[in-house]
Amino acid sequence: MVSSQTINPIASILDHYPALVIDGALATELERRGCDLKDPLWSAKILLEQPEIIKQVHYDYFNAGADCAITASYQATVEGFAKRGLNEKEAIALIQKSVKLAVEARDEFWADETHRFGRAKPFVAASVGPYGAFLADGSEYRGKYGLTEKELMDFHRPRMKALLAAGTDMLACETIPSLTEAQAIAKLLREFPNTTAWVSFSARDEKHISEGQVFADCVKELEDDQQIAAIGINCTSPKYISSLICEAKKATTKPILVYPNSGETYNATKHDWDGNPIHESFGEQAKEWFKAGARLIGGCCRTTPEDIRVIASWARPSRSRKNIGTM
Ligand SMILES: [Zn+2]
């Protein structure tokens, strides 16, 4: 059951705008600004060491036109921080800091009235990365963890609880490689009935999520869950996205979200990316995904504020006209 108090920031925006602009990569921007992320904790390491830079990146994405910020909690888990010698209380505090940084950036951005023209107040979506991200071995693109639904719920519970207590507007359950994990998350959400989440899978090709299940079947499984406000795909090559949107459309009336990576592939051994980005212009290519039926569009790994600026320019044309003189 969904409480009448349930907040759905996605519907609030899509009731008034044809598209909702998600932000771009956090880690890529942190590295560009000199942070060293070659660490199993990835961007969560910066939560510990350089939180101000994370806040600045969120601010820059709002400024580029993003309607939402995804927090730096993708790889931040109680178990992960325990390996770094943090106790549970310290770990929870850091997870919550990821939300506070995004909320502060949003509030500072929105406090300037010149930023409000032609757009909705942005919201914060707290990243719930998959179990595979905690393993830090590339499993988020494979799945097959060998864990039960209950074990996955137990893994996700403490972080989800902490993120919600810190005041996030919703949850971004992202880069999910397997249907079992998506179902575990959906079931766990019922313990937090006022909450909405999006569920976003990683995919291996035009039709299948990373673990191999048919994407349309996964979407169908989640279709009746009222707490899931949008379903889609992230951290997947742009070349598969239009086809995956068509597959999702067959199975859902929920808004479809896509935020692919730049087309490079992640090398878990090196903690780095191989290959060349295929986007001559990622933001222009994203128009095709809107035409195919996606309503929430942004970028995942290796995308930049400039990519998001291009998406916002066609998704909210009146705003970009106004901003031409001030950029
Ligand atoms: Zn990614």
| pLDDT at position 134 | 87
| pLDDT at position 264 | 76
Q: What is the mean pLDDT of residues 201-207?
A: 97
Does pLDDT of 290 surpass 60? yes
Q: What is the mean pLDDT of residues 9-20?
A: 96
Does pLDDT of 4 surpass 70? no
pLDDT tens-digit series, residues 168-195: 999 999 999 999 999 999 999 999 999 9
| pLDDT at position 326 | 38
Lowest-pLDDT range, 45-54, 125-134, 278-287? 278-287
Are 225 and 257 in contact, with CB atoms under 8 Å apart? no
Centre of ligand 1 to C-alpha 28, Å, is: 10
How many alpha carbons fall within 13 Å on the CB side of residue 14?
A: 18
Does pLDDT of 265 surpass 90? no
| pLDDT at position 256 | 98
Centre of ligand 1 to C-alpha 3, Å, is: 32
pLDDT tens-digit series, residues 141-170: 899 999 999 999 999 999 999 999 999 999
pLDDT band (50, 70, 90) for residue 68 = very high
pLDDT band (50, 70, 90) for residue 39 = confident
Are 158 and 78 in contact, with CB atoms under 8 Å apart? yes
| pLDDT at position 317 | 76
| pLDDT at position 322 | 44
Centre of ligand 1 to C-alpha 304, Å, is: 12
Centre of ligand 1 to C-alpha 113, Å, is: 32
Q: Which residues face 267 on adjacent strands?
A: 272
Centre of ligand 1 to C-alpha 171, Å, is: 16
| pLDDT at position 309 | 97
Centre of ligand 1 to C-alpha 71, Å, is: 13
| pLDDT at position 327 | 35
Lowest-pLDDT range, 4-8, 22-26, 234-238? 4-8
pLDDT tens-digit series, residues 207-262: 999 999 999 999 999 999 999 999 999 999 999 999 999 999 999 999 999 999 99
| pLDDT at position 1 | 45
Centre of ligand 1 to C-alpha 25, Å, is: 7
Centre of ligand 1 to C-alpha 299, Å, is: 8
Centre of ligand 1 to C-alpha 139, Å, is: 13
pLDDT band (50, 70, 90) for residue 321 = very low
Centre of ligand 1 to C-alpha 79, Å, is: 21
Centre of ligand 1 to C-alpha 15, Å, is: 28
Residue with the bigger pLDDT between 277 and 156: it is: 156
Centre of ligand 1 to C-alpha 259, Å, is: 8
- C-beta atoms surrounding 258 within 10 Å: 29
Does pLDDT of 43 surpass 90? no
